[in-house]
A and B are shown apart, each in its own frame.
Chain A
Amino acid sequence: MNTCKNILLVGVGGQGTILTSKILSTGLLNAGYDVKMSEIHGMAQRGGSVSTQVRFGERVNSPIIGRGEANILIAFEKMEAMRWLEFLSKSGKLIVNDHEIESAPILAGKESYPEGVLEALSEKSSALVIPATKMAIELDSIRVMNIIMLGVLVKQAGLETIDWKKEMKNLIKPKFVDINLKAFELGYQYKV
């Protein structure tokens, strides 16, 4: 339909999906792209599924995309990757955090977390599986998982020329900047 690039970011409330999208879209804006970002929140804080869409290019019209249009789907949780998979273009790339967050009915033992999600994702798409939560725990800060994933994304999307560290310094609270810079570097250098 057009020449815009579409990145769909998905996760569960509290995983930092919206902050990641903010850093991403601000960086793209400052690099001279037209950018639109759409987020749906509201119930997000209450354990729901969260998604944001970032579109960039010379000129962006719609802030949202339909199925089959994401060039990159970046999922902070693996069942969320499956939930949003239909938005991925057949030539698109999936980057998924190898991590599961149980929904309320799963926690209560009413249903179980599906088995074989990663295998199915890999079968259906070119999936990059990143142990980002594990890496974040090793950094002693589970909350920087999103920034590790951002580092991976930047490399995969070929957006290395943008000064992401500057954007992070502007958008992240000063006392958390160092750990997030470290996390970004870890993701960026991750050998896939």
Chain B
Amino acid sequence: MNKLLTGNEAVARGAYEAGVTIGSAYPGTPSTEIFENLAQYDEIYSEWAPNEKVAAEVVVGASMAGARALSAMKHVGMNVASDPIYTHAYLGVNGGCVYVTADDPGLHSSQNEQDNRYVALHAKIPMLEPSNSQECKDMIGKAYEISEKYDVPIIFRMTTRVCHSKSVVALGERTEVGIKKYERNIPKFVATPAACRRHHVELEEKLQRLEEFSNETDLNFTLINKDAKIGVITSGISFEYAKEVFGEQASYLKLGFTYPIPKQKIKDFAATYETLYVVEENDPYLETQIKALGISILGKEKIPITGELNPEIIASSLLSERPDYVQQDKDLVKGRPPTLCSGCPHRGLFFELSKRKDAVITGDIGCYTLGSADPLNAMDSVICMGAGVSAAHGFAKVFEQTNDNRKVFGVVGDSTFFHSGITSLIDIVYNQSNCTIIILDNRVTGMTGHQENPGTGYTLKGKKAPIIEIEPLVLSIGIEDVRQVNPNNLKEVREALNAASIFEGPSVIITKWPCALKKLHEEEKKEYPVAQWVYKVDTDKCRKCRMCLKVGCPSISFDPQTGSFIDPNTCVGCSVCAQVCPFDAIERAGDA
């Protein structure tokens, strides 16, 4: 049967067909839908782990225990998971093991543009790179065969366009490969220095055999056009772009197995063409290695190293072809920056923080990064998952040294707190700094599209789970000053911020209210009653002071003649604007 699948859906399907029985992951764009789809298969146990390192360690264990195991993460997630992954390369597998990395050229939804093909090179882990959804499905099966045959884990490298593009896939049946027998094997699986000196030697030998495989496998294939004068070496989505640009004018060496690279195959192909291009997105990963073979080839001298590629960029870089298109009238296009949604529970907190001009606010990764956007502008830094907590400690310690009495607040979401905020908070308790960590508990992993997490009471598979409550957790590690507030109640938020500001020592504020878009569980409906009314502006009372605009709600618009207006179709009744209005001009407007 043929179906139109995204690359992510196809990876999940491929894992199913390959007989995978276990998977563990943490959500991250553009990888998230792999596990959302994997969860549909009853034959596979799958879970959201608190972070990528935990997920990777779960699959290392599962692979040792004999199962075919899968993990998937966004590119920066692989940084978090790199500790177990790098050593896993030495230890090898029992059941096959695959780590999917979903890179994000163009930074559609990420904080950097790192090219994780270098992780394969650096960690010495064989790598596969699919170009379309059919390959995503088929190559996952291949990945498990290689993993088991050569006793190595596999990196399966995708990019946003491969993850999120749909193309036609012919589905197959599941092969039950079963779970291999597990027996204790101390020399193999216990990573002592003595064992790993030996493992490293063995790994280098495996890589030599894998290079032979790379030269032989049809994962690396040529597509020869008879009269072609140009040779193109490429991989991943760039293969599809290159075919689009060169068509039959070029022959192609398409690499699906890109670590170790097939040196002989590359030499043979290169010898046939006078003009050679290497077409790849972001870093010159292939180019550097090809040039090291003494081959003269053109790549990053012409093709940009930054940003996402497309056929147009390749055509203009290599063929100096300029597209012919309808000119836009730039004056008639205004930006559409993303905003916190109507009724977002982060709004109340950031509005109150925005008024504290002398405070330093270290931010973190999630929807609440938008607290840095206009009109709130209430953020000093965003780095990576968990840094909202630890960077606050860094600021506070330096402010101690400089006798700077500015207050430091660190903000972190619930899922991000479970991900890597807990260890950072332990640092703050252990080493005592005078900062306040605000945990924005919106009862869901929001930014990636609403996944369950250890605080929500449900698993990836939709089963009930124990709720890890944040308040007793932070109390138990030694935070003495903990306040829990409803972020939609500005007075509560203000009082908590005031109290935390005068408290000597580390403190925590938990803002607890579900994401306005969350489909609430039955028990949550009682705990968090959703307003049954919307708000409206009494135009007689509105003095056009624009105070309500400072909360940055997309439901509120302003007209210099008539004042503020609240769109009744999108207002969810959070009341934050009503609390901000100095003239009580915003009031309930009956039932929504």
CB distance from A116 to the nearest CB of B (A): 7
Residues B333 and A79 in contact, CB atoms below 8 Å apart? yes
Beyond A104-B554, A107-B558, whether A45 also contacts B517 by CB under 8 A is yes
With a cutoff of 8 Å between Cβ atoms, the chain A residues found around residue B559 in the complex are 109
Q: Which of A35, A69, A124 contacts B4 (CB 8 A)?
A: A35
Report the contact-size class of chain A (Cβ under 8 Å from the partner).
35 or more
B338 at the interface (CB under 8 A from A): yes
Q: Which of A37, A49, A89, A108 contacts B558 (CB 8 A)?
A: A108
Beyond A29-B2, A36-B167, whether A105 also contacts B161 by CB under 8 A is no
Determine, out of B112-120, B319-327, B389-397, B503-511, the stretch whose residues face the partner at the interface. Answer: B319-327
B549 at the interface (CB under 8 A from A): yes
B240 at the interface (CB under 8 A from A): yes
B328 at the interface (CB under 8 A from A): yes
B-facing residues in A1-28 (Cβ within 8 Å): 1-2, 12, 25-26
Beyond A65-B311, A66-B310, whether A109 also contacts B326 by CB under 8 A is no
Could you mark each residue 29-59 of chain A with 1 if its beta carbon is under 8 Å from any beta carbon of chain B, else 0?
A: 1000011111111110111110000000000
CB distance from B382 to the nearest CB of A (A): 15
A163 at the interface (CB under 8 A from B): no
B65 at the interface (CB under 8 A from A): no
With a cutoff of 8 Å between Cβ atoms, the chain B residues found around residue A40 in the complex are 108, 160, 164
With a cutoff of 8 Å between Cβ atoms, the chain B residues found around residue A1 in the complex are 244-245, 247, 311
Q: Which of A66, A68, A82 contacts B333 (CB 8 A)?
A: A82
A-facing residues in B522-555 (Cβ within 8 Å): 546, 549, 552, 554
Q: Which of B108, B315, B335, B549 contacts A109 (CB 8 A)?
A: B549
Q: Which of A38, A103, A109 contacts B546 (CB 8 A)?
A: A109
With a cutoff of 8 Å between Cβ atoms, the chain B residues found around residue A148 in the complex are none
Q: In the complex the two chains form, what is the Cα distance from A63 to B149 in whole Å?
A: 34
B272 at the interface (CB under 8 A from A): no
B-facing residues in A68-121 (Cβ within 8 Å): 68-69, 79, 82-83, 85-90, 92, 102-111, 113-114, 116-117, 120
Task: Tell me the interface secondary structure of chain A in the complex.
Answer: mixed
Residues A86 and B554 in contact, CB atoms below 8 Å apart? no
A-facing residues in B305-321 (Cβ within 8 Å): 310-313, 315
Q: In the complex the two chains form, what is the Cα distance from A30 to B389 in whole Å?
A: 51
A170 at the interface (CB under 8 A from B): no
Residues A83 and B328 in contact, CB atoms below 8 Å apart? yes
CB distance from A86 to the nearest CB of B (A): 5
Could you mark each residue 136-158 of chain B with 1 if its beta carbon is under 8 Å from any beta carbon of chain A, else 0?
A: 00000000000000000000000
With a cutoff of 8 Å between Cβ atoms, the chain B residues found around residue A86 in the complex are 325-328
With a cutoff of 8 Å between Cβ atoms, the chain B residues found around residue A42 in the complex are 29-30, 108-109
Residues B167 and A65 in contact, CB atoms below 8 Å apart? no
CB distance from A101 to the nearest CB of B (A): 9
Jot down 21 A-B pairs with beta carbons below 8 A, ordered by A: A25-B166, A35-B4, A35-B167, A36-B132, A42-B30, A42-B109, A46-B341, A61-B243, A63-B132, A64-B311, A68-B326, A85-B329, A92-B326, A104-B336, A106-B557, A108-B375, A108-B557, A113-B334, A116-B332, A120-B329, A124-B329
Identify the B interface with A (CB < 8 A): 2, 4, 29-30, 108-109, 132, 160-161, 164-168, 237, 240-241, 243-245, 247, 310-313, 315, 323-329, 331-341, 367, 370, 374-375, 449, 517, 546, 549, 552, 554, 556-560, 569
5 pairs of A and B residues whose beta carbons are closest in the complex: A66-B312, A68-B325, A63-B165, A46-B338, A42-B109
Task: List 8 additional A-B contacts (Cβ < 8 Å) besides A64-B161, A65-B310, A66-B311.
Answer: A1-B245, A36-B167, A38-B161, A47-B341, A63-B167, A64-B310, A104-B552, A116-B332
